[in-house]
Structure formats: structure tokens, C-alpha cells
Structure 1
Amino acid sequence: MRNVPETLAEELLLLAYDLRGKCRIGPVELDCGVAGAMLSELRLADRLRLDGTVLAVADAEPVGDPILDGLLADIAASPRGRTPQEWVTRLRATDHQQRLLARLADRGQVAVDRHRLHRTFGVFVETRYPVRDIVGLWEAQQRVVAAVTTSAPADARTLALGALVAGAGLSKPVFATSGNWRVLRDRMRAMTEGDWIADAVRRALAVELGSVSV
């Protein structure tokens, strides 16, 4: 049986990397998208809530995933309240994304391809993550596409993933083969209006990049 991504963040990573291992969005967009995906996973598990404008722990019971449980504990132990946007930005400085990629690699869903790049100022090592789980990639993409191109009702998990796709700049690679990607992106945003985590991702990117054109 095929290994299936266990978290939204892992599905987002499969959508972000192509078969050659190149990331289809910029590093800032990827960082913020993965951060939002982890928060969204905890929200779907009823572990997080909004307390006014501040992210709060609704239930500190572990969800059974070591990466997510560590994040939940960090939020619970935070000495001061932070907005979802602040948590998205804060998570960019952690190793969560590398741990998720390592887990995907251990399961054979991505490969790890390190090679040297010769530049004017020296030799650098670039790491790419070619997607090997083609079925997982296809299924994640088709779920999100179907949500905006068919009348079939989408489940909360698919809508959460779609909101992150639209928020983190993955709309073009995910939607381009199914129609006008901008129209489909806007449709997904309308369907997920009120998703405060996807909104936090967009706001964090606006600060980091000085633009919200994703």
C-alpha cells in the first residue's frame, strides 16, 4: 500500500516540489505555507482557536504526531499571546520544514538530491527534493482542483489545503492545467473566506515580500 502523507504540511510540500525536485514557489512562500499548514492541522484537530486576535490552545492533548505535538506544546508554553500571523512568521526560523521533508524522504515520497553549484564566489551545495509519490501528488492536486471546478461538496481538510494553496502562491502550478488559474484561485479564496490561518499566511507574506500578489 502506498504511503500517504499524514499532515496538510506534507501534502503542501508534495504540491510545492516538482518531479525534478525544484520548488515551484519561493522559499519565503514555502516557509509561510508550511507554517500555516501545521497550524491549520492543529485547528482541524480542535487544538487551536482564536481568542480575539490571539492564537490560543483550545485543547493541549497531543494529536499523536511528534512534530505537531511539539508545536502545540510551544504555543501552550508561549509567555505571551501571539497572533496567527506572528506564529507563521516565527515558525520560519524553526526546523519543522526540514523535519517534515526528512520524514517524506524516509517514507520514499520524495528523494534527496544534493549537488554542487559553482558560482563566482565559491561552490555551494543545493538540495532538491524530487517527488516520488506521484499518486499522492496527483490525489492532493485533484482534491483541491475538484473543489473549485465541480459541484461536489469539499470536506474541511480539502478546503484547508486549498486555502493554503491560494494563500502561499501555489495557485498557478496547481490550477493552471484546469482553467484560468487566477479565476480558480479567486474562487477558492471566496469558498474559504474566513479561514484565519490562510489569511495569516497572506499577511505574513505581505510583510516579508511587500506584496500579496500570490
Structure 2
Amino acid sequence: MFTEASCAPPTVPGVAETLAEELLLLAYDLRGKCRMGPVELDCGVGGAMLSDLRLAGRLRLSGTALAVDDPEPVGDPVLDALLTDIAASPRSRTPQEWVTRLRATDHQQRLLARLADRGQVAVDRHRTLGVFVETRYPVRDIVGLWEAQQRVVAAVTTGAAPTDARTFALGALVAASGLGKAVFATSGNWRILRDRMREMTAGDWVADAVRRALSVEHRSVSA
């Protein structure tokens, strides 16, 4: 079971991938097609950024609102910009509201550009009659993709809880954002494994915020 006490701060993000970057590696396949819908991707990456800051000891839940526990930068420009935005917000917002709010920012593109600069993804722009119509991000960091997927899969198939908070957080986001089938399909019944991960991370309020934000978005589309 996920608890805040299990969230020991990891190494400060830097050269190594942030949780948000790991989620992006899982989201794209080797041909560069996204394995989840655009709304799910937006909400999942937004939630992953909040999780990065939470795991670094910068954010906490105060009642129903997101609060800055420590304003000290973590050393990652994308995460530090978000931390500053949250600290400077004129009113309190729930994690769900921040997940939704992050959909209107360029954080995801900045993270993809950084992955491309490192050679972890390629940038593949498809043209029709000389006009750009689609950008794909083929994953080139096969090891990073495989290691991220195997950590999450092992957490629900070995019968033992993962030993690190990062795996808990990544697995919770996979289950919440609609990546369960892509990550778990080759390891058994993906719905059972996804639901098991949800049970294991039931106390993860960031993943809950992602689910709630997606529920609102889906209801607005179907209304």
C-alpha cells in the first residue's frame, strides 16, 4: 500500500530521467506513435511532474489543496518552473486543478525536446503536400524504455511490493493515465495487473488527481 512515508526523496533529477520523462518513454513506441490519447498523455505527464516534485520533498497535500513544503529548487529547470508557479499561485488549487492547468503549458514539449537532445527519442515530422501534419517521437533509448516497463511490471507480477517510491509513483501513473494495456499486455491479463497496481498505490493522491481530471475531461467531451 502506498503511503507518504514510503516517498523517500530520490536523487535530484538532472541527467537521469525525471518521472515525467520516463512516462513519455513509455507513452511512445519504437515507431513514434503515442500509445495513449492526447488528453491522457497531457494529464499523465502533468501528474508525473507533480509526482517528481512530491518525491523530492517539495510538495504536499494540505487538506484538499496542493501546498509547497519546500521552495528550494530541485535543479531541473522544467520542474523548478512548475514549483515556482505553484508557490506563486494567488489561490490554492487541488492537485486535480493543477493537472488540468498543466495541459495549457509547454512543459511536455520542453521535456520531449530534452529527450530528443539526449538522443532518447527522435523527432519524425510527417509531411503531406509539403505541410507538417504530424510529429512522432520514436523511442531510441530502448534500455530506458525496457527498464521503466520492467520495474512497473515486476511490481505487480513478483508478489512483492516495489522497494522504491519512484516505481510506486510510475506504476500509479501508468494505471491512472490509460497506459495499463501498453505496459502490461505482454505480461498477463493487463486489466488484472492494472487493477492490482491501483490497489497497491491506493494512497497516491497524484494518481487520483489524474483520474479525476480525466473523468472531467471525458464527461465534457461526451456531454
TM-score normalised by length of structure 2: 0.89
Q: For each residue in 1:142-181, what CA deviation from the matched residue of structure 2 results, as whole angstroms up to 9, or x when unmatched?
A: 0000000003431110010000000000000000000000
2-side partners of 1:21 and 1:194: how far apart?
33
Aligned to 2:90: 79
**Alpha-carbon deviation of 1:6?**
2.0
Q: Which of 195, 201, 206 is equivalent to 1:186? A: 195
Aligned to 1:142: 150
Q: What is the one-letter code of the residue matched to 1:170?
A: L
**Alpha-carbon deviation of 1:9?**
0.4
Matched, 1:61 2:72: yes
Aligned to 2:17: 6
2-side partners of 1:163 and 1:5: how far apart?
20
Matched, 1:126 2:134: yes
> Quick one: structure 1 residues 148 and 4, their matched pair in 2 at CA, closer, same or farther if it must change by over 3 Å?
farther
2-side partners of 1:188 and 1:151: how far apart?
11
Q: Is the 8 A contact 2:125 2:132 kept in 1?
A: no
Q: For each residue in 1:66-85, what CA deviation from the matched residue of structure 2 results, as whole angstroms up to 9, or x when unmatched?
A: 00001000000000000000
Aligned to 1:45: 56
**Alpha-carbon deviation of 1:5?**
4.3
Q: Give the CA RMSD over aligned residues.
A: 1.6
Q: What is the one-letter code of the residue matched to 1:72?
A: L
Q: For each residue in 1:59-117, what CA deviation from the matched residue of structure 2 results, as whole angstroms up to 9, or x when unmatched?
A: 00000000000100000000000000000000000000000000000000000000124
2-side partners of 1:205 and 1:56: how far apart?
22
Aligned to 2:205: 196
2-side partners of 1:156 and 1:86: how far apart?
24
1-side partners of 2:161 and 2:72: how far apart?
30
Q: For each residue in 1:178-201, what CA deviation from the matched residue of structure 2 results, as whole angstroms up to 9, or x when unmatched?
A: 000000000000000010000000
> Quick one: structure 1 residues 5 and 13, their matched pair in 2 at CA, closer, same or farther if it must change by over 3 Å?
farther
1-side partners of 2:201 and 2:178: how far apart?
15
Matched, 1:177 2:216: no
> How many residue pairs were aligned?
206
Q: Is the 8 A contact 1:9 1:37 kept in 2?
A: yes
| Aligned residue runs from structure 1 range 112-123, under 5 A | 112-117=123-128, 123=131
Q: Which of 104, 123, 128 is equivalent to 1:93? A: 104
Matched, 1:24 2:35: yes
